[in-house]
Structure 1
């Protein structure tokens, strides 16, 4: 079984859209271990709709749209890391984290710690807005300090060529391409936009 972890420098930057495109491009299955917030379309539902690929059930489905530790506490649930082991499915798997790397799953455990235990390559999604250099370099430093293997950085949003170059040079990391903003989020539009992503490098890291 080969897996790749999709994480981000922050929440709401488009990593679910990226995960959907990557799941489709790899012919993979998708897993979102912890879903916090059930009022709107969940990330798993979004990926299923956009990728037409198998989606594994979440280990935890929490109603409150908040940090997973707080959402779990609100329901009287404690997230058990034993329930977050990578599933064995016999094929490629795209795993999407929640929020950024330092998001707490409990008051003693960060998502980064779980990612490190998975021992799978990580794709770091980075928005191209102001502040991305700082956020991305900090995230890269955290991943490496935890012993994670970084496949590269995927940029999401409008072009910011200088920021991309600075991040990849200083961060000594592979530029995996850019996913632009989509006027209409459809499977066809996502597939067309995803041609700008270096899927081959990601596949080779798995």
Structure 2
């Protein structure tokens, strides 16, 4: 879902314009990191010490329910603007299970097409090493290493969220930097190479 918000939805909004897409992606990333950093600080410093590790999940459920209600209201307001003919479901409308199966099929098809493009064209072969492996190392440091460091050196495993959001703060500064210099450096290659190099050093 996070990757869908950061990658697919901005393209649907701005189209195929490279400059607008890069600007929109950086802006979405900025808001995402601000939300993540503030939420982790509130969780690590406020919710977990007062509610405990088990009851703090209730806050997540409340926030997700609120977000779902907001999305439902947005969808309902858009439907109310349509004609009455468009509100009526067609007879050949597919059911939920068929739509879910079609979604899984399209997801697998996109993986196959992406792998075919990357591994058959030499100009894209760097993506799986510079982006995929770097992203995996990033997630491993956040989800695997940070809890061990917090438990061993700080004595409280919930402080791992603060460590992880320190990493997200670095991503926020990087997104701000890209947002400011996007007109001068148009290719994403230097950022991906620097990203992989810094993860290799860490």
TM-score range, shorter chain: under 0.3
Larger radius of gyration: 2
Is the strand fraction higher in 1 or 2?
Answer: 1
Is the helix fraction higher in 1 or 2?
Answer: 2
TM-score using structure 1 length: 0.24
* Structure with larger RCO (C-alpha < 8 A, sep 6+): 2
